[in-house]
């Protein structure tokens, strides 16, 4: 069975702090994809990243970075120098290589205070 | 980039009535679309896979007779909530993978409130 766990339900930080959102996944598949999405208060999901299981290179995009560790089945997301606009719910998700169906984690609500 | 739209963005209906939600891919053809449901402060749960020209595939526990899905064209899938009850009140989101690419786009969601 596939499962995504985001143990942090809510995180509060002050602007300019760095924050890491944890994601741990379970799958029996050898080939799979991992995703992060941002859901601001408007509700619309914003795609942040997709990573396939063969690519363990860490990724950096501006203030965002992702750490994929297959050995611990984790795909953590770090926001550097957080801003108020980063306040949202962040979802980690998993899909099988052969399907585009996404299994979502329970989400982490991030609040960044000025 | 590719865009997926949903209509309506919100709807309020009375218990016992049916509501139709549309999901459109605006600049690409989507042979497959997905329907998710999100209860307040909860995660997104996949309800069904909508397949153009064939029957939808429902996830375990989702009543196919209650949530009717029709994917009549390559750019439109509809979800009809039949005989809606207050417990069907939720945020319904569709998504569509872009064929031949790694990308999948989500619609903006439809907030359904059943009174």
Q: What is the full DSSP assignment across A92-109?
A: EEEEETT----EE---EE
**CB-nearest partner of B104 from A100, A106, A107:** A100
Residue A96: pLDDT band with limits 50, 70, 90: confident
In the predicted model, is pLDDT for residue B79 greater than 70? yes
- The residues, ordered by sequence, that sit 6+ positions from A20 with a Cβ below 8 Å of its Cβ are A76, A77, A78, A79
Q: B56 CA to chain A: closest CA distance, Å?
A: 13
On chain A, the residues whose CB falls within 8 A of the CB of B95 are 45, 100, 102
Inter-chain residue contact A101 with B49, CB threshold 8 Å: yes
Q: Residues A75-86: pLDDT tens digits?
A: 999 999 999 999
Distance (Å) of CA B50 to CA A54, A78, B90 = 29, 34, 19
Residues of chain A above pLDDT 70, percent: 100
Which residue has 């859901």 as its token pair? A39
Inter-chain residue contact B109 with A47, CB threshold 8 Å: no
Inter-chain residue contact A107 with B43, CB threshold 8 Å: yes
In the predicted model, is pLDDT for residue B1 greater than 90? no
Q: Residues B82-109: pLDDT tens digits?
A: 999 999 999 999 999 888 877 789 999 9
On chain A, the residues whose CB falls within 8 A of the CB of B93 are 43, 45
Q: B110 CA to chain A: closest CA distance, Å?
A: 9
CB B44 within 8 A of CB A104: yes
Q: What is the mean pLDDT of residues A23-50?
A: 93
């Amino acid at each position: 069975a596939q499962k995504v766990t985001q143990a942090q339900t809510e995180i509060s930080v002050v602007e300019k702090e760095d924050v890491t959102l944890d994601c741990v996944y379970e799958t029996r598949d050898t080939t799979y994809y991992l995703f992060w999405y941002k859901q601001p208060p408007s509700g619309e999901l914003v795609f942040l990243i997709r990573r396939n299981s063969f690519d363990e290179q860490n990724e950096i995009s501006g203030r965002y970075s992702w750490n994929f560790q297959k050995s611990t089945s984790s795909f953590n997301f770090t926001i550097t120098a957080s801003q108020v606009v980063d306040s949202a719910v962040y979802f980690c998700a998993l899909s099988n290589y052969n399907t585009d169906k996404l299994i979502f984690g329970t989400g982490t609500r991030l609040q960044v205070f000025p | 980039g590719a865009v997926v739209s949903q209509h309506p963005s919100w709807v309020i209906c009375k218990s016992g009535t049916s509501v139709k939600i549309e999901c459109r891919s605006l600049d690409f053809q989507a042979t497959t679309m997905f329907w998710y449901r999100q209860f307040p402060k909860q995660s997104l749960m996949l309800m069904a896979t909508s397949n153009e020209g064939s029957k939808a595939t429902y996830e375990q526990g989702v009543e196919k007779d209650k949530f009717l899905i029709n994917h009549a064209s390559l750019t439109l899938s509809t979800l009809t909530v039949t005989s809606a009850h207050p417990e069907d009140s939720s945020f319904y989101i569709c998504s569509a993978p872009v064929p031949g690419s790694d990308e999948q786009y989500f619609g903006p969601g439809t907030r359904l409130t059943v009174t």
